[in-house]
Chain A
Amino acid sequence: MERVLGLPLITALVVFGMPALITLALIAWALWFKGEAERR
């Protein structure tokens, strides 16, 4: 049971979740950098 549930869940989390997190971080970077450029 543990294996049946765990395999698809963790796979989906790593395969789709981690890139999504990094994408969000890089969007945050772009917005911050834009603000930074305007302030100067």
Chain B
Amino acid sequence: MSMAMAEIVLLSIAIYLAIIMAMGLAFSKRVKTALDFATAGGGLGFWLYTLLMAGSLMSGMTAMGVAGLGFQAAYQTWWEQLAVPLSIAICTAIYGPKLNAIGRRLGFATVQDYLAFRYYDMKLVRGISGLISIFVSAVYLIGQYVAIGIVLKVLMDWEYWQGLLLTGAIVILYVMAGGLFAVAWTTLFQGLILVIGVVLMVPLVLGSVGGFASMNEALSAAKPVGPFKPPGLDMPFGGFEFLTTPLYNLTLFGLSVFLGLSVAPHIINNVFAFKDVKCIKWGPLAGFLIGAIVLASTKIIGIAGRVAWSKGLIDIPSHPVVPGAKWSDMVLPAMIKFAVPPVLWGLFAVVILAAVMSTTDRLLLTIGTNFSWDIYRNLINPRASDRRIMSIGRAAVAIVGCLTILAALSPPALIAWLIWAALGMMFSTWFVVLVGGLFWRRATREGCIGGMLSGFLATVVAGIIDGGGIWPPPLGFRFPFYYAVLGFITSSLIFVAISLATKRPPERVIEDSLTGPFLRWAGK
């Protein structure tokens, strides 16, 4: 790459960072209270809410990970395009009406607040949920950092670790300095950039491999990627391969990714922010369509990348950790370099940076509040001053941020495996207790604690045995389905059994938390 190109890319990134900082400052003046900060005052209208939801989906995974997965497994993973955006539809339609009404009545801003209230336990439920949230967010973060290291490696010809350390340090400092004043607004802006960028790129990419039909023809004869073969995703390309091993595909995309993402903190907490019933009516459809278009576009770019690589048009570097495998997640920036005119590279570097940053700052913020509020203030030092809590939160951000960057120095075979592991843990920890809490009057505090802990632990143990695509299975044995489903089954059984065996929850809590087998509360 010539020096001039490098300067264009750097300049675009600098302009983008300046805009984000300016937006943060401008909107910080509108934020008066902590609740405003978390929920935008509960006043988002239909379009703002829908774009916020879609923007929250966009991450390093959506950009690099989905393309990498398309490169590796093509149409087999097409279910992902349906599961991921459908999760925001379900979140809005099924949890949205009730959580929003309860949040309005009781002044809640996060699902942690709701669970602590519904399960009448301010200490244990909050503490356990907060601890698991820190762990899961950290796993998710590693995936984001890998994505950003890869972009700068391909577009700027930097070493992977250089890009990783530099951008990682920038994001951590930015969050610690309190640059998160306007997460909702910056997420929205960043989401919008990604939607436009990815959709614009598809025609360029399809053109570069001779169009949609000829891409599919070439796909059935594409070269294999490498020796790394995850179960169910290792079939050669061709006629019907995306329908192979339905058990694996459906437990992964149909259950873990779909329902895990629907209870992910950065997704579900958005439902506290809308003000309009239209958001529940047409929000599911609008959110699904926007999300599906972006994800489908990204996957098409990855599939086209496989064809371009097979024909020797682009070069994908070898994976630094997995011997003999290609670094599939490199395909998006590699296709940018191949199919997009160089003057636009800076724009696309910004597109990916936007995707990563909008998720990274949210995750770091979640880790900070989980640690300072749910654990430090709630369990260790209830009398801590606001200042002390703030500095504890910052310290947590710095420590977890550095640890995750260290972990990202040895990237997984696919970013996707890491993100799915995090989603699987969210699925088995929160899905059952949340749905149980909203719709089942008999669900008790003990059931909730048992369900969360057993679901999380069972998923971690099953993941260690299975390897989950991140390491080779230690016992030489893989499950024929996605392992997180074991955690979900454990969590459901334990949650129901303990709830039935323990004392009924207090009637007052059940009434105030609008619990029962209905979607929407029609009272005053």
Contact A3 B285, CB 8 Å, known A14-B75, A15-B78:
no
> Chain A residues near B479 (CB, 8 Å)?
none
The yes or no answer to B39 lying at the interface (CB within 8 A) is no
Are B82's CB and A18's CB within 8 A? yes
Separation of A3 and B216 alpha carbons in the complex (Å): 12
The yes or no answer to B388 lying at the interface (CB within 8 A) is no
> Chain A residues near B81 (CB, 8 Å)?
19
One digit per residue, 1 when the CB lies within 8 angstroms of any chain A CB and 0 when it does not, for chain B 487-524 equals 00000000000000000000000000000000110100
Contact A23 B284, CB 8 Å, known A7-B239, A8-B213, A36-B520:
no
Separation of A22 and B292 alpha carbons in the complex (Å): 11
* Residue of B whose beta carbon sits closest to that of A3: B239
* Nearest chain A CB to B79 CB, angstrom units: 8
Tell me the interface secondary structure of chain B in the complex: helix
Among the stretches B3-11, B263-271, B275-283, the one at the interface with A is: B275-283
Contact A14 B280, CB 8 Å, known A7-B216, A19-B81, A23-B288:
no
Contact A30 B281, CB 8 Å, known A10-B240, A14-B75, A14-B242:
yes
Which parts of A1-40 form the interface with B (CB within 8 Å)?
2-3, 6-8, 10-11, 14-15, 18-19, 22-23, 26-27, 29-30, 33-34, 36-37, 40
Tell me the interface secondary structure of chain A in the complex: helix
Contact A8 B285, CB 8 Å, known A19-B81, A22-B82:
no
Which parts of B97-133 form the interface with A (CB within 8 Å)?
none
The yes or no answer to B434 lying at the interface (CB within 8 A) is no
Are B520's CB and A7's CB within 8 A? no
Separation of A30 and B20 alpha carbons in the complex (Å): 35
Query: Among the listed B242, B289, B296, which residue makes an inter-chain contact with A23, where contact means beta carbons less than 8 Å apart?
Result: B289
* Nearest chain B CB to A37 CB, angstrom units: 6
Are B240's CB and A26's CB within 8 A? no
* Nearest chain B CB to A5 CB, angstrom units: 9
* Residue of A whose beta carbon sits closest to that of B89: A26
Contact A22 B86, CB 8 Å, known A30-B282, A33-B280:
yes
* Nearest chain B CB to A26 CB, angstrom units: 4
The yes or no answer to B138 lying at the interface (CB within 8 A) is no
Are B213's CB and A14's CB within 8 A? no
* Chain B residues close to A by CB (< 8 Å): 75, 78, 81-82, 86, 89, 93, 213, 216-217, 220, 238-240, 242-243, 277, 280-282, 284-285, 288-289, 292, 296, 519-520, 522
